[in-house]
């Protein structure tokens, strides 16, 4: 049968075949296949065995390609997809020197944007994610009125509405606006979450407000945490660039809400705050005691290596996280701090930057199954197993490797990975892009 040709003899079942099948839940399979019925996977294994057991199934043969789960981008700011062009237009094209300078740069560029610009940027980000083989996102939404851009998106995942500010009254007003959105999902497979921005942009009272709101409405939370040394310094002593530059620019008084005198993780792992299933984003500036707290809490940590490198905030202690068994996922962050929304390119950078701290299989797990778990999609997406939804991508490389080299090749290829098909619930959604 020719590549991609569909045998219509038995339309109720279809075998999707490729040179390699990477289930994530099991080792790679040469000449592997998925048996799909409706929108679910019924079996996964060697094509020869599945074809013999299901002789009337239709066959789609992708040829010299690899079939594997969609990637899960567990931390994005798709609203900022057009940020590089905005920065250039605003005369802000120069890269900031440090983390606080970058925050102020971001604020200046966003200040003059219109709702139409933000919606168009978000829509472009959704399309870019799909083209990169991403099936699910954990997206941070700052401009609530831009949420209409999610409508009709085939992506799965969660939209975390962002909250920041030091004034409890302003935070209450923001939460009331978010509450008005909760009666209707942003789209069919997208659900709401909440993002208290960071412990240095929310007062202690505001943090308690936001997490109480999340608990009351049963919302998963995602918080930028322990991203920079400046954050750690500010929470420990109330001093440093955050107090001296960011707070001055925002007209906030650091003395009005004394810092907790703890590490960011210690400050967040308090009763009524971080809960099992919540997300911690970045987690760079942590020690062994912090990692133990995160493990005990039951949250996932989303790593964003390219963003961390670009902002010069340090490198997450990957080996310590893996040893402790903290669930890990990957995110691209935004185009304000990373060069693309491709998790394939994030993988290639991470594989090189962290060297031998994690094996290729670990990285692929983070980018698929780990992300699905982080966003509450375990069992539906992230692994190709009987009973899960028929969501998968098909990719090619300039030169297909041998089976033993497959995982390393996929982790290292970056922009050389070509996503030819992306199926979500048995539908090729790249036809819409």
**Mean per-residue pLDDT of the chain:** 95
Give me the pLDDT at residue 258, please: 87
Sign of torsion, CA 86 92 97 100?
negative
Map residue 363 onto helix, strand or coil. Answer: helix
CB 282 within 8 A of CB 304: yes
84-95 per-position pLDDT tens digit? 999 999 999 888
Give me the pLDDT at residue 88, please: 96
Number of H helices, E strands in the chain: 17, 16
62-82 per-position pLDDT tens digit? 999 999 999 999 999 999 999
Give me the pLDDT at residue 433, please: 59
Bridge partners of residue 165, in order along the sequence: 202
26-72 per-position pLDDT tens digit? 999 999 999 999 999 999 999 999 999 999 999 999 999 999 999 99
CB 67 within 8 A of CB 410: no
**If you average pLDDT over residues 286-308, what whole number do you get?**
97
149-165 per-position pLDDT tens digit? 999 999 999 999 999 99
Q: What angle do CA 426, 405, 322 make, to 5 degrees?
A: 80
What distance in Å separates the CA atoms of residue 67 and residue 78, rounded to the nearest whole number? 26
Give me the pLDDT at residue 1, please: 42
Which residue spans within 307-404 are E strands per DSSP? 328-330, 392-396
Which of the four pLDDT bands, split at 50, 70 and 90, describes residue 280?
very high
pLDDT for 185 beyond 80: yes
Give me the pLDDT at residue 432, please: 66
pLDDT for 116 beyond 70: yes
Which of the four pLDDT bands, split at 50, 70 and 90, describes residue 10?
very low
pLDDT for 8 beyond 50: no
> Which pairs from 429-433 meet CB under 8 Å and 24+ separation?
429/130, 429/154, 430/130, 430/131, 432/130, 432/154, 433/127, 433/130, 433/131
Domains of the chain: 13-69+383-432 (2.30.40.10), 71-374 (3.20.20.140)
Q: Helices 168-181 and 204-216: crossing angle, nearest 10°? A: 20
Q: Render 11-50 in DSSP notation, one character per residue.
A: TTEEEEEEEEE--SSS--EEEEEEEEETTEEEEEEEHHHH
């Amino acid at each position: 049968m020719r590549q991609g040709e569909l045998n219509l003899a038995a339309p109720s079942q279809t075998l999707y075949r490729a040179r390699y099948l990477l289930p994530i839940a099991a080792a790679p399979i040469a000449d592997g296949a998925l048996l799909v019925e409706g929108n679910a996977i019924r079996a996964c294994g060697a094509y020869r065995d599945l074809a013999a057991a299901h002789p009337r199934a239709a066959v789609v043969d992708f040829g010299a390609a690899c079939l594997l789960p969609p990637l899960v981008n567990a931390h994005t700011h798709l609203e900022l997809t057009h940020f590089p062009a905005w920065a250039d237009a605003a005369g802000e094209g120069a890269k900031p020197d440090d983390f606080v300078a970058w925050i102020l740069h971001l604020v200046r560029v966003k200040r003059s944007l219109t709702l139409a610009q933000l919606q168009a940027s978000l829509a472009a980000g959704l399309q870019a994610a799909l083209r990169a083989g991403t099936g699910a996102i954990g997206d941070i939404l700052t401009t609530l009125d831009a949420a209409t851009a999610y409508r009709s998106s085939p992506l799965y995942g969660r939209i975390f509405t962002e909250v920041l500010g030091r004034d409890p009254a302003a935070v209450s007003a923001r939460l009331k606006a978010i509450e008005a959105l909760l009666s209707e999902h942003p789209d069919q497979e997208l659900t709401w979450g909440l993002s208290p921005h960071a412990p240095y942009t929310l007062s202690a009272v505001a943090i308690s407000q936001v997490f109480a709101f999340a608990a009351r409405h049963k919302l998963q939370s995602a918080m930028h945490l322990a991203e920079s040394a400046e954050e750690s310094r500010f929470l420990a002593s109330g001093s440093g660039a955050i107090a001296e530059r960011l707070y001055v620019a925002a007209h906030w008084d650091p003395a009005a809400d004394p810092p907790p005198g703890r590490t960011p993780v210690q400050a967040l792992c308090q009763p009524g705050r971080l809960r099992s299933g919540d997300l911690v984003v970045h987690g760079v500036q942590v020690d062994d005691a912090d990692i133990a707290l995160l493990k005990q809490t039951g949250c996932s940590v989303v790593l964003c290596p390219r963003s961390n490198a670009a902002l010069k905030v340090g490198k997450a202690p990957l080996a310590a996280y893996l040893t402790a068994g903290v669930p890990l996922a990957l995110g691209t962050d935004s185009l304000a701090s990373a060069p693309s929304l491709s998790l394939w390119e994030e993988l290639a950078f991470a594989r090189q930057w962290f060297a031998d701290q994690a094996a290729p299989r670990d990285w692929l797990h983070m980018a698929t199954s780990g992300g699905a778990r982080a966003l509450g999609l375990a069992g539906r997406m992230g692994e190709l197993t009987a009973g899960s939804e028929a969501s998968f991508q098909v990719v090619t490389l300039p030169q297909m490797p041998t089976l033993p080299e497959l995982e390393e090749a996929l982790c290292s290829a970056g922009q050389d990975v070509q996503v030819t098909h992306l199926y979500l619930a048995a539908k090729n959604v790249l036809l819409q892009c």
